[in-house]
Amino acid sequence: MEALRVPIIIVINGLLALLLLYYASIQLPIAGLMIGALMPLPTILVIHRSGWLAGSLLVGAGISIIYYAEHFFGFKAELLPFLQMAAVAFILSLLMNWQDRLEVVIGGTAILVAILEVGVFSLHAWQQNLTPIEYLQQAVQEFWTAIVQLLQKEHLLEKEMALSGLNAEVASAYIIQITPALLLINNMVVVLLNYVLSQRLGDSAAWRKQGGPLSCWDSPGWLVFIFIGAGFLLLAPIHLLNMIGVNLLLLSGMLYFFQGLAIIVFIFQRFQVPRFFRWSSYVLLVLIKPAIFLVVLIGLTDLWFDFRHLHRPPPEL
């Protein structure tokens, strides 16, 4: 009885944390985007602490509460985002227990979740007698209109910004072209964030080790050829090749951003920079556009400069 009580307490605590994150994600307009990305974390921690059954009970209880709150109490809620984050938690936990390579764990989870999302999206399009492209155009236009209204409401959209000069139709045309890259980038960010936090908050001894520390991660050398090739595709006179090029450029650029960020983390750790300054720098690197391009450049040039000396041969004895 005592052994059973401990997993139940863990599930209840995980459920409270999960519902709190879910409620905050739908109540807070802008901060809710970041909070919603943390929704897989309680499920991941419960799975690795008490097993798959406890994780399944946690998600099942969350689905039941959200369903009853929406249909019987009129609570404004959507079950689909909850299910998407649950899929992230289960797939990430499965790959973390199965794979040693960090690239496979993060990239594999992002790709599998993207496949599930495309399948669900296509099913919704079929239910509304629309093609996936038509449904995507409709969804992107509605999303863009909602974002502009939200920014105007929060006084974050100035008249001189180029964003204010784009209507929903024009903006949706740009977004649709880069939807594959945006989908994978969003999933990679969510997966990586939950992976890092789960490693920090969980019992490190109970986790399968995925390579070395994140600060020593580097992208494969052949990625530079994809990055350069994507740039050439942008110059092609064929629109389809331009679309492929811009998506490959965004994806490879994001990977080089991760590598550049790992280099900066390595340098901070090497010189024992105070933690407050570290996290302040991380926030600024993400929010300031020139800093983002600088981080990408650092990650790209690491192939030649080897800033962390990871690829130098050991000295001869």
Phi, psi of 99 (to 5 degrees): -115, 150
| Least confident window among 19-28, 39-48, 281-290 | 281-290
Which residue in 147, 87, 92, 146 sits closest to 119, CA to CA?
A: 87
- Predicted pLDDT at 14: 92
How long is the chain? Answer: 317
Is pTM beyond 0.75? Reply is: yes
Q: Please answer whether residues 247 and 178 qualify as being in contact, where contact means their C-beta atoms are separated by less than 8 angstroms.
A: yes
Q: Residue 3's pLDDT band (boundaries 50, 70, 90)?
A: very low
User: How confident is the model at residue 29, as a pLDDT?
Assistant: 66
User: So what's the pLDDT on residue 173?
Assistant: 79
pLDDT above 60: residue 157:
no
Phi, psi (5° rounding) for residue 215? -70, -15
What pLDDT is attached to residue 70? Answer: 78
pLDDT at 161: 46
Q: CB of 162 within 8 A of CB of 89?
A: no
- pLDDT for 300: 92
Helices (H), the chain: 2-27, 31-37, 40-50, 52-71, 79-98, 102-127, 132-153, 168-177, 179-201, 223-233, 239-270, 275-287, 289-305
Residues 105-146: pLDDT tens digits? 999 999 999 999 999 999 989 998 988 888 888 888 777 777
Residue 85 structure tokens: 């984050």
Choice between 275 and 144, residue whose per-residue pLDDT is larger: 275
pLDDT tens for 21-44 read 998 888 876 677 788 899 999 999
pLDDT exceeds 90 at position 92? yes
Of the listed ranges 153-157, 237-241, 265-269, the one predicted with least confidence:
153-157
Read off the tokens for 132: 């996936």
Q: Which of 93-97, 163-167, 217-221, 226-230 has the lowest mean pLDDT?
A: 163-167
What does the pLDDT average to over 196-217? 75
pLDDT of the residue at 282? 84
Predicted pLDDT at 153:
62
When mean pLDDT is compared over 54-58, 100-104, 172-176, 207-211, the highest value belongs to 54-58
